[in-house]
Amino acid sequence: MARGRREIPPCSKTYGFPIYCAAWVPLSQISAAAAADDDHDNDKRGEGGGGGDPSLPRHKGDRLLVTLGGGGGEGRSGVPNALVVSHFDLRSRSLSDQPVFRMGTDADVPYRMAVHPGGDGIICSFPKNCRLFKWDFSESEETLSLRSPGETLENLEDGGLQLALSFNEGGSILATGSEDGRLMVFKWPSMESVLEETVANTTVKDLDFSSDGKFLASLRNSGPCKVWDLASSKVVANLSREDGEIFSFCRFSRSRADSQVLFVTAMHGDQGKIISWNTTSWKRIGTKRIVRDPISAFNISSDGKLMAIGTTEGSIEVLSSANMQVQTRVKKEHLGIVTALVFSHDSRALLSSSFDSTARVTTIETRKSNGFSAWIIILVIILAILVYFMKSKQTL
């Protein structure tokens, strides 16, 4: 190997276009929906439930799928615009050499995506519109594909480029935020409006729903982080910045307990930090300086135990959400800006993407210190028992 050449591990692959958005595919939900459709078709044909197992094909827990979007835009750069689906094998920790599915999007580059948690499809934002791509599921996960050209969402046609897209945990509410400062929230799939706010001369940077579905946090390039009560469609908190802070991303903790926390990343000078707010009093309860480079991506695991940040320098850090201690640090994981970070549904892996055209899956290691501590406790108990028997013999 030539000196200085960067070795690419099996968990990382290059896709030939800058990657702007990434997500895990909810394969079990897609399969269940396909099985339900098959049952419905069988009932209509009068076949009942016979003719073999109507449930979805059995998928190995170590086989996962990711979807990626990006491209070179509408210029004549020669860089394609595309959506791809790739396979990740957790056991071998490797991304497939070839995508399971690839679909060109002509002159339109996919900037953001939101995958419906129930398997309804993927919403992608393009420069001029947003489109819903439905899944086509066959007999095995290798034949999973997206239906082209996608269904244009008319409610979002005049909203400008959507820079933030998010479904709530149940998939019943969709929130969008555009580069022209327009926040819109809809019921899904009816697209009935829940709330709308436009603030001139701003850009909506990030959105997140609380795990109980009560709140929506919205973050703009200026002003406070707003928290909306979805039942009343009113703002219940304006979380202000301290002098010099620039907010970037917001995420609720994934706990269903009453004491949830809202995390917001911020740059303060040359320091990237994470700020936490109590969701009852809406007061700051903590601040932790994490990195010196600007934070370009942020997310929290499905089980709520971990959080991850990506930087403009291509580095990634995985932290405990309880104490914000670093669990894993990978310097220069990508050669460009980290554009997206997404934990797998079981929180065992972290998908990252970058402008350098690469996607990578980092597996989450379980710390061995807990097991080590358990062995110490066992040894102490054994020693205590031995001492007890030795003393008993001396007494006799």
Q: What is the pLDDT along the chain (396 residues), one digit of tens a residue?
A: 445 566 789 999 999 999 999 999 999 899 887 776 655 444 443 333 333 232 333 445 567 999 999 999 987 678 999 999 999 998 999 999 899 999 999 999 999 999 999 999 999 999 999 999 999 987 555 578 999 889 999 999 877 899 999 999 999 999 999 999 999 999 999 999 999 999 999 999 999 999 999 999 999 999 999 999 999 999 999 999 999 999 999 999 987 666 789 999 999 998 999 999 999 999 999 999 999 999 999 999 999 999 999 999 999 999 999 999 999 999 998 999 999 999 999 999 999 999 999 999 999 876 544 444 445 556 666 776 776 667 666 655
For 99, which DSSP code? -
Helix, strand counts (H, E) of the chain: 2, 31
Instruction: Identify the pLDDT of residue 268.
Output: 93
Q: What is the pTM of this model?
A: 0.85
Tokens of 140: 């095995």
Instruction: Identify the pLDDT of residue 344.
Output: 96
Cβ-based neighbour number of residue 71 at 10 Å = 26
Instruction: Identify the pLDDT of residue 380.
Output: 60
Instruction: Identify the pLDDT of residue 54.
Output: 28
Cβ-based neighbour number of residue 12 at 10 Å = 18
Virtual CA dihedral for 334, 145, 82, 28, nearest 10 degrees? -40
Cβ-based neighbour number of residue 207 at 10 Å = 23
Q: In what order do the strands lie in the sheet with 112-115?
A: 112-115, 122-125, 130-133, 151-152
Q: Which helix (H) or strand (E) holds 382?
A: helix 369-395
Instruction: Identify the pLDDT of residue 38.
Output: 58
C-alpha span between 70 and 282 (Å, rounded):
37
Q: Give the chain's radius of gyration (CA, Å).
A: 24
Instruction: Identify the pLDDT of residue 139.
Output: 59
C-alpha span between 123 and 119 (Å, rounded):
11
Measuring CA to CA, how many Å separate 82 from each of 6, 63, 130, 194? 26, 23, 15, 32
Q: Which residues of 346-381 are buried (b: 16+ CB within 10 A; e: fewer)?
A: ebbbbbbbbbebbbbbbebeeeeeeeeeeeeeeeee
